[in-house]
Structure 1
Amino acid sequence: MRSHTPLPAPPAAQEVHRAYLEELGPEERSALMSWVGFTCTFATVRGITYSIRDGIGPFRNVSVGGAHLHHYMWGIALLSGVGAVAVRGADETRRHPAVALSYGAGLALIVDEFALLLDLKDVYWARQGRISVDLGVGLVATGGTVLAALPMLRRLFGGHR
């Protein structure tokens, strides 16, 4: 029989925070927060959108005056806010993690409805097209997040605790 080595315990939140601060410079932290915002928003929006389409759960489409408000509109609003902070904000404001998270979230809201923006309505919800887009963007988002976090992950899981 083979003996199984138990998996190591996941790092404590304090270890993760310390690695985040010590292994990543300000630019790397901003990049990581942008990827985290993108990945989490994309995954959440996909889940909500599928639940609306299938009539499952509490979520419904938002309409004003009979016109459906697509979530790319909220993405454009978020990116406009981030742009205003970038143009007019002080350095400490521009480098705030909420700005990077907002950037990633706004971008995900737009990217998720990119086919709709190009007026490819029947492609947007075609099963094979939608699944391949979801998987493709999801893999890119996850890959980008992991690559941005690599210095932290090496410290946390590379045995240098």
Structure 2
Amino acid sequence: MADKGVVARLRQVAVDRVGPTEQSLIVAWGGFGATFGVTRAITHWIRAGHGPSSGGMSAGGRHLHHYNIGILLLAAVGGVALRGEERHRRHPVTATAYGSGAALIVDELALLIDLEDVYWSREGRSSVDAAIGLLALGGLYLAAVPFWHGAARELIPALGRR
């Protein structure tokens, strides 16, 4: 069980060092990572034959790629950025929509680059998966460098006392 003093100190580091911009970045990168992971899991589940018989989403018999949803999310976030009130621009839902939309597009980037449905090609998938995972973790770190450094200063001495 975590030392309540450490938890309280970490919470204070977040309050002291993570401003509104960093908070939005953390939420956006978290949304990116979570959406990418869930999307990969769902697509593997469908491909294994457990999902819809059509192989995914469709409308009027036409297959819809999830990058379409990503484009819609980014367009909505762009609209909020251009015309929304300040409280909506910095709202966690806006940041989450941005990160999620970007993840849905990046997940099908090979399709968008080649304009062919190469989603399941062995050559492209493993390198894209690794790169996106690293991008998500790196972005989460870079979005809040002061917080992570402050958290490390709080945690390292606490670990030494055990």
CA deviation after TM superposition for structure 1 residue 58, in Å: 7.8
Instruction: Report the equivalent of 2:26.
Output: 32
- Name the CA distance, whole Å, in 2 between partners of 1:30 and 1:81: 16
Instruction: Report the equivalent of 1:152.
Output: 147
Instruction: Report the equivalent of 1:107.
Output: 102
- The range that moved more, 48-57 or 23-32, is 48-57
CA deviation after TM superposition for structure 1 residue 94, in Å: 0.7
What is the aligned-residue RMSD (CA, Å)?
2.6
Instruction: Report the equivalent of 1:49.
Output: 43
CA deviation after TM superposition for structure 1 residue 44, in Å: 1.0
Alignment counterpart, residue 142 of structure 1, candidates 134, 137, 148: 137
- Name the CA distance, whole Å, in 1 between partners of 2:34 and 2:58: 24
Matches within 5 A, 1:126-141: 126-141=121-136
TM-score, normalised with respect to structure 1: 0.82
- Name the CA distance, whole Å, in 1 between partners of 2:64 and 2:9: 42
- Name the CA distance, whole Å, in 2 between partners of 1:42 and 1:153: 23
Q: Percent identity?
A: 45
- Name the CA distance, whole Å, in 2 between partners of 1:17 and 1:86: 29
Please list every run of 5 or more consecutive structure 2 residues that lacks an aligned counterpart in the other structure: none
Instruction: Report the equivalent of 2:92.
Output: 97
CA deviation after TM superposition for structure 1 residue 15, in Å: 5.8
Does 1:23 find its partner at 2:28?
no
Alignment counterpart, residue 67 of structure 1, candidates 62, 71, 77: 62
